[in-house]
Amino acid sequence: MSDGREPEAREAAPPLRVAIVGGGPSGWGAAEALSHRRWGGAFEVTVFERNAYFGGKCHTVFPDGTPCNGAPGGYELGAGVLSKDSWSTADLEALLARHGIAYCDAAEPQRAKYRFYSGGTPVTGRTWARLLVLRPWLLLLGLLDFLRFRLGLFRYSRRPTLDYAGRPPALHRPFSSVHTSTLNRAVSFGMQAFGYADTSAPGLTAPLLYYHQYARPDVLWNPVYRLERGMQGIWWRVASAYPAARARLHAEVLRVERHEGSVTVETATSRETFDHLVIAVPLRPQLPFLDATEDERALLAKVRCNHYVTVLCRVAGLTDIAHVVVDNAVEPQRLGGVVFAYKRYPDSDWVTLNLYADPAHERTDAEILDVVERDLTRELNATMVDRASASVHHHPDYFPHLAPEDLAAGWYEHFEQRVQGQRRTLWVSSGLHMETVGSSVQYATAKVNALAPIWLREAQRERYAETPAFSTVAQLKE
C-alpha cells in the first residue's frame, strides 16, 4: 500500500529535536551519543548552558577568572585529572579520540604526586616507622581493614553496573560505620578531599555505595592524566563542533513544560518546542525551572548536595602536586577548613585550595580567605601571597547524594521505575552516577543508547497515526 504519492515524492522524517539542559560532561555526553552516526541524523540536539563556559565542574581559568576555552596555561577550579584504560572511562576516551584531544601523564618525577599533612606536619616514611614502633596494632588493623575494603570492592563489583539501583543493602551504610578511622584517614584524599563527603556523617563519610562506584577495582591503581589545555578545554572543543545555535552559552532555562507530545523550553530570550528533554544539571532538592510531578518533587527533596569551594590564590611554600589536610577531611568539628591544595605547575605560585562551606556557619568570601590563610600557615607550612589577587569560587550543588536511610528505602529503584524516561524526559544528572568525568560520559551514553530506540519507535507510531485514512478504493489498491 502507499499513501497516494509517488515514492520519490515521499518526505524523509524530520529529526527529533532534543533539548539538553546543562553543558557539562553529562550534557555533552548525551549530545554526542544522540549525534552518533548509528542514529543516521535522527536527532537534532540543542544544549542550553547558563554559564559563560561549557564544562560544568570542568572549569579551567586564567588567574583573572577568565575561562581558558582550550588555551594552555589555565588552573583547574573543579576536575583536574583523568583516569583511563578502565570500564568506566571507555566512552570518555572514545570522545577524546573523536575530537583529537590528547592528554599527558599528571605525575612528574621531580614532584611528589600526593603529600599528606596531619597535625601541621607532613606524613613521611618516618611517621609510619614511628607508628610501627609505638602503635603497631593500629597499623596492623589499618592494613587488615584495607584488605577487607579491597575484597568488598571485588565482591560487589564482579558485575559492573552503571546504576545505583539494585545495589546490595550492605553498601547503604556510611563508610565510617564499617571501616576504621585509620582507613578513613588513608582514603580520605580520594573522597572527602575531592568533595565527595557526607558532611552530616561521622568521619564525614558518604555511604559505601559511592566509594564502590568511585574506587572501582579496575581504576584504583591506574595512572592519572591531565590535559595541557585544561579539562574545560574538552567541552569547549566538543561544543565547537556544533552550530552556535545548538550550543548556547548564557542560556539559563527558566521554565520547562512537558506535554503529551512535546516539551517547551523557555529562556530569557526564547520559547521553543522540542520532542524530548535531557536533564543534565546536578540532582538537587529543587529544580526551579521544571514542571515537576509529585513523585519528582518527593524524590528530589531527599537529595543532599555539598557546597564545595575553590580558592585560587598565590602561595609560597608548596612544591608538590597535591596536598591533603587529613585532619580537616575526617573530623566533623573541623568542617570548613582547607582539605586539598593543587599546585598545577612547578614554576608557578598559583595554587587552588578546596574546602567545604559549613552550612552551620555561613561565611563571606573574605572570611573564607581568612580560613585559607590560617590553614596554609597552620596545616601546610605555607603562606598566601598577595591576598588581593585571590578569588573564591562556589560550587553549591557538588556531589548530589542520598542518606543511608533513603538508600535503604529504595530511592534509586523508585527513581528508575517512576521518573526515569517518563514524560519525554531522560535524566543523566550527577547524583544518578558518580560525579567523575568518566562516569558522567559513560552514564549519559548508556542511557541515551537505551532510550533513543524507544523515542524513534514512538515517533514512527505517531507518524503512522497521523497518516490520512484511505478515501477511495483506488487509493487502497495503490
The per-residue pLDDT for 97 is 94
What pLDDT was estimated at residue 102?
87
Shared-domain flag, residues 310 and 264: no
pLDDT at 363: 94
Which of 401, 422, 441 delimits the end of a domain?
401
Same domain membership, residue 350 and residue 253: no
Q: What is the arithmetic mean of pLDDT over 96-121? A: 85
**% of residues, the chain, pLDDT over 90:** 69
Among left, alpha and beta (phi > 0; psi -120 to 50; other), residue 425 is: beta
pLDDT band at 127 (very low <50, low <70, confident <90, very high): low
> Under 8 Å CB-to-CB from 176, ≥6 apart: which residues?
184, 201, 202, 203, 204, 205
Domain containing residue 25: 7-105+227-289+407-466
CATH number where 337 lies? 3.30.70.1990
Are 133 and 174 part of one and the same domain? yes
Mean pLDDT of 42-69: 96
Residue 299 lies in a domain: no
Give the domain-ending residue among 401, 435, 457. Answer: 401
pLDDT digits (tens, 9 = 90+) for 441-462: 999 999 999 999 999 999 998 8
Q: Is the pLDDT of residue 125 over 80?
A: no
Decide: helix, strand or coil at residue 117.
strand
Using pLDDT thresholds of 50, 70 and 90, give the confidence band for residue 129: low
- Kindly tell me if the per-residue pLDDT of 130 is higher than 90: no
User: Using one digit for the tens of pLDDT, what is the confidence trace for 342-357?
Assistant: 999 999 999 999 999 9
DSSP 138-193: HHHHHHHHHHHHHHHHHHHTSS--S-STT--GGGGSBHHHHS-HHHHHHHGGGTGG
- The residue out of 344, 372, 401 marking a domain boundary is 401
Kindly report the CATH number assigned to the domain that includes residue 268: 3.50.50.60
Q: What share of the chain is helix, strand, coil (3-state, %, to 5)?
A: 40, 20, 40
pLDDT of 249 > 90? The answer is: yes
Give the CA-trace dihedral at 58, 380, 83, 198, to 10 degrees: -70
Coil, helix or strand at residue 437: helix
In this predicted model, what pLDDT tens digit does every residue of 142-172 receive, in sequence order?
788 988 998 888 888 766 677 888 889 999 9
Pairing of strands 263-266, 255-258: antiparallel
pLDDT at position 10 is: 44
| 394 lies in the same domain as 417 | no
Q: Is the pLDDT of residue 433 over 60?
A: yes
pLDDT score of 193 more than 70: yes
Query: What are 197-209's pLDDT values in tens digits?
Result: 999 998 999 999 9
pLDDT at residue 135 in the model: 67
**First-last CA distance in the chain:** 5
Given this model, what pLDDT does residue 478 score?
A: 44
Q: What total number of domains does the chain contain?
A: 2
Q: What average pLDDT does this structure show over 379-406?
A: 97
pLDDT of residue 422: 96
pLDDT for the residue numbered 112: 76
Please tell me whether the overall predicted TM-score, pTM, comes out greater than 0.85 for this model: yes
285 inside domain: yes
For residue 3, the model assigns a pLDDT of: 46
* Average pLDDT of the segment spanning 319-337: 95
Is residue 268 assigned to a domain?
yes
Q: How far apart are CA 120 and CA 327, in angstroms?
A: 9
- Asked if 182 and 149 count as a contact pair (C-beta separation under 8 A), the reply is no
Give the three cell numbers for residue 132: 610501627
Using DSSP, state whether 365 is helix, strand or coil: helix
For the cut 50, the answer to whether the pLDDT of residue 68 exceeds it is yes
Residues ≥6 apart with Cβ < 8 Å to 406: 302
Residues 447 and 358 in one domain: no
Whether 475 maps to a domain, the answer reads no
Q: What pLDDT shows up at residue 408?
A: 95
Same domain, 167 and 204: yes
Q: What percent of the chain stands above pLDDT 70?
A: 90
Please report where in the chains the cell 543511608 appears, as a residue. Answer: 404
The winner for highest mean pLDDT among 150-154, 159-163, 180-184, 264-268 is 264-268
Beta-carbon contacts of residue 249 (< 8 Å; ≥ 6 apart): 23, 49, 51, 52, 53, 54
pLDDT of 394 higher than 70: yes
Least Cα distance to 441 among 81, 105, 29, 145 occurs for 29
Let me know whether 120 and 90 are in one domain. Answer: no
Q: Do 279 and 335 sit in the same domain of this protein? A: no
User: Residue 210 — pLDDT band, cuts 50, 70, 90?
Assistant: very high
Let me know if residue 296 belongs to a domain.
no
CB atoms within 10 A of CB 95: 22
